[in-house]
Structure 1
Amino acid sequence: MGGFDVLIRVLERAMTILKTAAGAIGGRHRPLTANAMAMFTLVLLCAVGMFTDDRMLLGESVWLKPMKFGFAMGVYGLTLAWLLGRLHRGRRLGWWLGTLFAVAGLLDVGAVVYAAANGTVSHFNANTDPVAETVRTVFNFGVLPLLLTTLVIAVLVLIQRPGDRALTRALRAGLGLAVAGMVVAVWLSNSDAAPRTVTDANGNVVTMNGGHGIGDPDGSGMAVTHWSTTGGDLRVPHFVGLHGIQLLLLVAGVLSVLAARRGWLRDERVRARLVGVAGLGYTGLFAVLTWQARRGQSVIHPDWQTSLAFAVLTVAVLWATAAVVAVARRRAEPRLLRTTETEPRLLDIGATGR
């Protein structure tokens, strides 16, 4: 079996899992679920395109970018569909916001696919040909709705509790991070990088205004992500902010599972504090990465200032986690002792009865 066949089987398996999840969530918000399924199908098609279409654009397959956009949009859409199904207040408003997000997301990713199919650059393309004009128009009208709908959904979550304390805190922090990540995307679209030219997959010259890189506007180098190794890259904090909600939901879920085995985790206030620590730590990571990128520094080449910031952040998160755990265990000990003292008496009563 060749590498291509193996890749296709792995992708088919992954898509099956994701589509199963989409089916389970489908009743909560059908437009977002349909959007997610379309995105996951796009991922599979782009993977095939990477092997059957040898066109290269800025050092990568023309189909790599739409594949990454499709996967990110699909995962985020499923997360929103699940979240909107948990709202107690503003459900109708939430449904319309989710529908607007699904449509805007489909248009934005569709523009990336359209540019890729034509072998040209989607973002920062200042050419006046019909493809560039169409893509630019879609971005001008499609990006802002993604930010605004997420912002309003975040407000809806702030005024209610869609789950226990830990889950609610994860959702609030995650949506706040998503909004911040999208603000970085708007920041990206207004980059002050100097005009320059690149060559597209067809050999045509493309005039570029703006760019994702600081210091090296079109920098790349990292595998798969193609984040810059030669300068700052605002795509890094954009990605980290946008997907923080999934990580924090995972933290809340893991803590909930562990609560069945760890008595001190059964108090939802303890789990909420730990999720809060994770949220603050992740927000700190987002802030440091944004600061690093704006200083024109690659994420894999931090200077002493960035390294110090990461070190301080790590120590603060570890200390806060240890403090929450220590206090929770100490408060749980009296309850455990009372339980232990009760068990022998119950056994004695049973023995006397016999």
Structure 2
Amino acid sequence: MRTWYRPLVLFSGLMALTAVASAIGLLVDDRELLGAPIWMKPLKFSLSFVAFGLSWAWLLSLPERRPRFLGGTALVIIAGSLLEMVIIIGQVVRGRQSHFNVTTAFDSMLFSIMGATVAILFLGTLVLSVYIAARRLAPAPELLAIRFGMGISLVGMAVGILMTTASSGMEGFVGAHSVGVLDGGPGMPLTGWSTTGGDLRIGHFIGMHALQLLPLLALAIRGRAESTSVRIIWTASLGYLAVVVLTTWQALRGQPLFAPDWVTGTALGVIAAGVALGLLSARGKARVEERITA
């Protein structure tokens, strides 16, 4: 980690401390907002930023010579992310909802600033992704996993845009996490994802964390033949992207994650079958290649 991009490592460390502070807040502050402990949101955002920051600190260590604009872009992302966290925590202290809240001029201004920070985060990540993806900075399987991870992560970020267009059903709020039900209804433990309606946070969450999971998969299968590893990464990545699309589509249709209709269930079965066939094909071709080289 000594070669990782230091500002992002420091940012991740700060977010880890924020996560600890938020966890303490959960223990000492019994206030709730929309049916959830009020400190749960900053805790979840802090942990997400830890994963994001460490991932990009590693990715920016891959080029032998890092252009100055990459560091500048990363610093802009850090500044935007810190500003977003300050607003989220500030609103928690005030006992107010940070996202979609336009009930007062001040709340509306804060939400507008958060919209700007999200745009900065997305565009900055896009710039970094294009630069890293255009270069051969790792062995083929790992490079493929990095490229897919960055791309799917951007798709996951874009799902957040759909939340601003969802109907909240509440006066003074523009946008919502849930579809078909009001935010703050029955939800899953920890995540808070709706158990009675659709929830756009599911596809958003799954998509964003492709940046961590797919490269970790590539590292886990290191040591296999390169061609086999590439086939596995292709299969896993396409299946992962399909799940992001499916869970987002399911949410838009107002369905809880664990109460899909037959259409969603069939689509999930097709995805699972496709991934299974892809992995079996990769295994079969690997055996053929082993016999040929034996």
In the alignment, does 2:11 pair up with 1:35?
yes
Name which of 151, 176, 183 aligns with 2:126.
151
1:232 matched to 2:198? The reply is yes
Query: What is the alpha-carbon distance in structure 1 between the residues aligned to residue 276 and residue 120 of structure 2?
Result: 37
2:189 paired residue number: 223
5+ residue gaps, structure 2? none
Higher mean C-alpha deviation, range 325-334 or range 171-180: 325-334
Aligned to 2:27: 51
Q: Which of residues 182, 187, 207 is equivalent to 1:241?
A: 207
* Partner secondary structure for residue 163 of structure 1: coil
What per-residue deviation string (whole Å, max 9, x for no partner) do you get for residues 146-165 of structure 1? 11111112211221112100
Aligned-residue offset at 1:134: 4.5
In the alignment, the residues of structure 1 paired with residue 65 and residue 22 of structure 2 have an alpha-carbon distance, to the nearest angstrom, of 39
Distance 2:281 2:227 in 1: 14
Residue number among 93, 114, 126 corresponding to 2:102 in the alignment: 126
Q: Size of the alignment, in residue pairs?
A: 293
Q: Which residue of 1 aligns with 2:170?
A: 196
C-alpha distance in structure 1 between counterparts of 2:13 and 2:236, whole Å:
30
Match of residue 344 from structure 1 = none
Distance (Å, rounded) in 2 between the aligned partners of 1:112 and 1:330: 55
1:68 corresponds in structure 2 to 44
Of structures 1 and 2, the larger Rg is shown by 1
The residue number in structure 1 matching 2:117 is: 142
Secondary structure (helix, strand or coil) at the match of 1:208 reads coil
Percent identity between the two aligned chains: 33
- Report the TM-score, using the length of structure 1 for normalisation: 0.79
Whole-Å separation in 1 of the counterparts to 2:123 and 2:230: 27
Between 144-153 and 308-317, the greater mean CA deviation after superposition: 144-153
**Equivalent AA in structure 2 for residue 96 of structure 1:** G
State the partner residue of 1:278: 236
Q: Distance in 2 between matches of 1:79 and 1:154?
A: 12
- Seen in structure 2, the aligned counterparts of structure 1 residues 245 and 194 have a Cα distance that, compared at 3 Å, is closer
Distance 1:194 1:41 in 2: 32
2:157 match: secondary structure: helix
2:210 aligned with 1:210, yes or no? no
Aligned-pair CA distance for 1:222: 0.5
> How far did residue 129 of structure 1 move?
5.0
Is 1:114 the equivalent of 2:72?
no
How far 1:167 moved relative to its partner? 0.8
CA RMSD of aligned residues (A): 1.6
Structure 1 position 88, deviation (Å) = 4.5
Is contact 1:210–1:217 with CA below 8 Å preserved after alignment? no
| Deviation for aligned residue 1:89 | 6.5
Is residue 269 of structure 1 aligned with residue 227 of structure 2? yes
**Equivalent position amino acid for 1:101 in 2:** I
Q: Residue by residue, what CA displacement relative to the aligned partner does 1:192-235 show, whole Å, maximum 9, x if unpaired? A: 405414xxxxxxxxx22221111114144110000011111110
Q: Name the residue aligned to 1:86.
A: 62
Give matches, 1:98-109, under 5 Å: 98-109=74-85
Q: Which runs of 4+ in 1 moved over 3 A?
A: 88-91
Q: Is the 8 A contact 2:146 2:214 kept in 1?
A: yes
2:161 match: 186
Whichever residue aligns with residue 196 of structure 2, its letter is T
Q: Which residue of 2 aligns with 1:252?
A: 218
**Greater mean alpha carbon deviation, residues 267-276 or residues 233-242:** 267-276
Give the conservation status (yes or no) of the 8 Å contact 2:80–2:120: yes
- Give the 3 Å change call, closer, same or farther, for CA 194–119 of structure 1 in structure 2: closer
2:221 is paired with a residue whose SS is helix
Secondary structure in 1 matching 2:258:
coil
Give, in whole Å, the separation in 2 of the partners of 1:42 and 1:30: 18
Distance, in Å, in 2 between the alignment partners of 1:114 and 1:156 is 35
Give the AA of the match of 1:253. L
Deviations 1:11-55 (A, max 9, x none): xxxxxxxxxxxxx25x43222112111110011111111111111
Distance, in Å, in 2 between the alignment partners of 1:196 and 1:102 is 33
Structure 2 residue corresponding to 1:296, chosen from 242, 254, 259: 254
1:77 aligns with 2:46: no
Query: Match of 1:210, as an amino acid?
Result: G
